[in-house]
Structure 1
Amino acid sequence: MQKKLITSLLLMGLGLVAKAQPNPRPTVVSPEVHPDNTVTFRLYAPTAREVKLNAQFEKAAVAMNKDERGVWSVKVGPVKPDMYPYAFQVDGLPVADPANSVIFPNEGFQNSLVEVTGSTPLVHTIQPVPHGTVAYRYYTSPELGIRPVVIYTPPGYESNTKASYPVLYLLHGTTDTEETWTKVGRANIILDNLIAQGKAIPMIIVMPYGRAYPVISKSSGSLRNWDNLQAFKKDFFNNLMPYIEQNYRTIKDKNSRAIAGFSGGGGTTLYFGLNNTDKFAYVCGFAPGMLKNEFDRNNETAFKNPELVNKNLKLFWIGVGKEDGLYGVNQEFMEVLNQKKIRYESLISDGGHTWMNCKLYLSTIVPKLFR
């Protein structure tokens, strides 16, 4: 009888404890991409007064609705298949999606990424083809210390140890990092797919960190800032390139080297490439950052000898979107190139200053390299 009484009291106590527990935090799935290319975004924020979705496929922030559990949600689309950055605006503050582990690597903001694949694989969609290797490496600069670099080696690099490869140096935008070209630009996946299709020569891609930090502060503006250009140029040619050519099986001549970059890294690309055509036969700017009053200074060597530039370069290429804030200055730069009779190819695309365009530009120029 006593045991039954104790058991009953224990069960009653557990019941009271269970009733006193607060409601558990709901499980949130976000983003949820649907078969029709619509996407549902969700955020658990029970005390927020207002939540909006900021996504690069929307022209303006989209209001989200709150349910009785404190979960805000909105369904948008259909969305054109691609890979897009997005964030939530919570009571006016930007917040990355805590339910999504795929983050946009950037030092100026933190966004999440959503991929809408659609029914047909895109050039940056992961496909069942041989895949190369993405490695995180470090080299040393006497002035800048330990420097990070991400390196892609093509399928077969490890097994075919007698083969040597051309190199594409690929530079990121101003507040991006050495990871952005793989995690957002999908450079490795684009190369895997184009190599498998026979549209690209197997190559090594070198993606360094482009800020000459700590010598140049992270608040110093664009990567094409003159002080950063000088410090990074010293590091690039004296430390990075020797490290790559000593540790990887590269073909060591200008016809087997290319340099390309986006935004501030695009301006750096033109500065390094056009003034060193003895080292690079391929120079490609993706919406390159520049100012009109810097044209002559930043291209002094190239502008002094346009004939040598035309002789040495197998490809000089510029891409920019019609809605890009850098469209106007790039048009002015191309007019100067025309006046100086420096040959180049260009692609004027739709859209703005986006990594969606970066993927387009990279997949456009890669088949042209090292032919």
Structure 2
Amino acid sequence: MNKVTFFFLLLGFVYVNVSAQQRPPAISSPTVHADNSITFTYFSKTAREVKLSGEFLKEPVSLAKDTSGIWKVTVPPVTPDIYPYSFTVDGVGVADPNNTLIFANERFKRSIVDVKGDKPLVHSLQNVPHGKVTYHNYFSQTLNTTRQLLVYTPPNYDASGKTKYPVLYLIHGGSDTEETWTKVGRANFITDNLIAQGKAKPMIIVMPYGNVRPAPMPDFTKDVVNDIIPFVEANYPVQTDNKGRAVAGFSVGGGQTLNIGLTNTDKFAYICSYAPYTATDEFKKNFTDWTPDADKINKQLKLFTVSVGTEDFLYESVKQNLAMFNKKKIKVKPFIVSGGHTWMNCKLFLVTSLQEIFK
């Protein structure tokens, strides 16, 4: 063996050993135990503090570090559901690097943990016929750009058949994305299961990207009406009267739902607003001095619901808006439950709506 060959062999040996020493150990996180307690694990030899935040906790909890740099904490059993969570490492929020289930959001860095429980939940992947989620790009004349939306088609969907499907336009929350309703809200599995149980009508669900920054928020209403609806109707066999359209959304999307639906009751007979955030210029413009034709709107609408949890930070503003709608003599059905501004409640709201629309 010549000196050059020996040098490169030695260099390779050193590299492999150094890499092995620097490579983090294999970690599984999170681990859901049989009693629905959950162990969360994080690796860092240099971190001074690691905390866990989650919508199953009242306040963050600290992880304990062992001598190898592995941090762990086990939380008590939680009610089966899907929960967002994150780590805070030396004051910086991060998603769980060992979890492939990431919360689809443009601002918050969070992961999700699926606590399945003993019985299939309404959002679980069950042994029923499944629909399909398709990603589309469309050009928005309103916003002068190409944007993305997701379309759910129900089981046994036939693009060339005679069936004309009703359409639910389903909007995510602020800083969420068009993927949040499927990756976190599991809207496709929920709909599959309810259709299989005969509790929901086969329908198409359109999940657009609702953030229009830096454009003004009202432009999204125009985008839905002038660009998204025509795109869907050009590419799918759908009903085109207002009784064949519903709009629903959560948080900022709930506020957008009110703006889109109540200013276009000739196009939407079903409006389902979930914990709506209404402190926007568009909502103030549309509803501060609103003098609606209540009789006309009530005839056009087959269902108008507003849902919220009693611990939601928007609970008081939602109650004020409900009072405003009642004062204007607009028939609105409140759906008030316990809990906060969470996707757990959001799924519950969707489950309820899917059983009420297009009936």
Same-fold call, TM cutoff 0.5: yes
> Which segments of structure 1 move beyond 4 Å, counting only runs of 4 or more?
16-21, 292-296
State the SS of the aligned residue for 2:217. helix
Q: Is the 8 A contact 1:274 1:302 kept in 2?
A: no
> 1:310 is aligned with what amino acid?
N
Paired residues of 2:159 and 2:237 also in contact (CA < 8 A): no
- Structure 1's unaligned 5+ residue stretches are 1-12, 217-226
Deviations 1:265-313 (A, max 9, x none): 1111111101111101000100011149976632379742011111110
Once the two structures are superposed, residues 26-73 of structure 1 have per-residue CA deviations (whole angstroms, 9 ceiling, x without a partner) of 110000111110111001111111111111110111110111221101
| Cross-structure match for 1:228 | 217
Contact 1:292/1:329, CA 8 A, preserved across alignment: no
User: How many Å separate the matches in 1 of 2:232 and 2:200?
Assistant: 21
Q: 1:4 aligns to what? A: none
Counterpart residue identity of residue 53, structure 2: N
Aligned to 1:361: 349
Instruction: Call closer, same or farther: CA 1:235–1:40 in 2, change over 3 Å.
Output: same
Q: CA RMSD in A?
A: 2.3
- Structure 1 contact 275–301 (Cα < 8 Å) conserved: no
> CA contact under 8 A between 2:159 and 2:236: conserved in structure 1?
no
Corresponding residue number in structure 2 for 1:258: 246
Q: Which amino acid aligns with 2:87?
A: F
Which residue among 307, 312, 333 is the counterpart of 1:324?
312
| SS class of match (1:151) | strand
Q: Equivalents in 2 of 1:178, 1:149: separation in Å? A: 6
- Report the equivalent of 2:303: 315
C-alpha distance 179-301 of structure 1, shift in aligned 2 (>3 A): farther
Q: Could you say what secondary structure the match of 1:22 adopts?
A: helix
Q: 5 Å matches for 1:19-168?
A: 22=21, 25-142=24-141, 143-158=143-158, 161-168=161-168
| Cross-structure match for 1:342 | 330
Judging changes above 3 Å, is the alpha-carbon distance between structure 1 residues 212 and 47 closer, same or farther for their aligned structure 2 residues?
same
The yes-or-no answer on 1:283 pairing with 2:274 is: no
Q: Secondary structure at the match of 1:346?
A: strand
1:346 alignment partner AA: P
**What TM-score do the two structures reach when normalised by structure 2?**
0.91
Determine the structure 1 residue equivalent to 2:194. Answer: 194
The amino acid that maps onto 1:272 is I
Residues 190 and 50 of structure 1: is their aligned pair in 2 closer, same or farther, counting only changes over 3 Å? same
Instruction: Give the C-alpha shift of residue 337 in structure 1.
Output: 1.7
State whether residues 247 and 271 of structure 2, in contact with CA within 8 Å, keep that contact through their aligned partners in structure 1.
yes
SS of 1:370's partner is coil
Which residue is 1:268 aligned to? Answer: 256
Task: Say whether the 8 Å CA contact 2:255–2:283 is kept in structure 1.
Answer: no
Q: How does 1:238-253 map to 2 (within 5 A)?
A: 238-253=226-241
SS at the partner of 2:21?
coil
Task: Give the gaps of 5 or more residues in structure 2.
Answer: 1-9
Instruction: Give the C-alpha shift of residue 153 in structure 1.
Output: 0.4
Q: Which residue number in structure 2 is paired with residue 211 of structure 1?
A: 211
Given that residues 103 and 112 in structure 1 are in contact (C-alpha distance below 8 angstroms), is that contact kept between their aligned partners in structure 2? yes
**Aligned equivalents of 1:295 and 1:109: distance in 2?**
25
Output the CA distance in 2 between the equivalents of 1:194 and 1:101: 27
Q: Tell me the CA shift for residue 193 of structure 1.
A: 0.4
Deviation for aligned residue 1:174:
1.1
d(CA) in 1 for partners of 2:17, 2:330: 78
| 1:362 partner amino acid | L
Q: State the Cα distance separating 1:341 from its structure 2 match.
A: 1.8
Instruction: Confirm or deny: 8 A CA contact 2:63 2:71 kept in the other structure.
Output: yes
Q: Which moved more, 1:23-32 or 1:116-125?
A: 23-32
Partner of 2:5: none
Pick closer, same or farther for the CA change 1:340–1:356 going to 2, 3 Å: same
Letter in 2 for 1:257: R
Deviation string 1:224-254 (CA, Å, 9 cap, x unpaired) is xxx312x112221111110000001101111
**Aligned-pair CA distance for 1:327:** 0.5
Q: Give the 3-state SS of the residue equivalent to 2:272 in structure 1.
A: strand
Residues 302 and 158 of structure 1, relative CA distance in 2, 3 Å threshold: farther
Q: Cα distance, 1:164 vs. partner?
A: 1.7
Aligned partners of 1:140 and 1:147 also within 8 Å = yes
Aligned length: 348
| 1:143-184, Cα deviation, whole Å (9 max, x unpaired) | 331110011000011477332200000011111110011111
Shift of 1:93: 0.8
- TM (norm. structure 1) is 0.89
Determine helix, strand or coil for the equivalent of 1:87.
strand
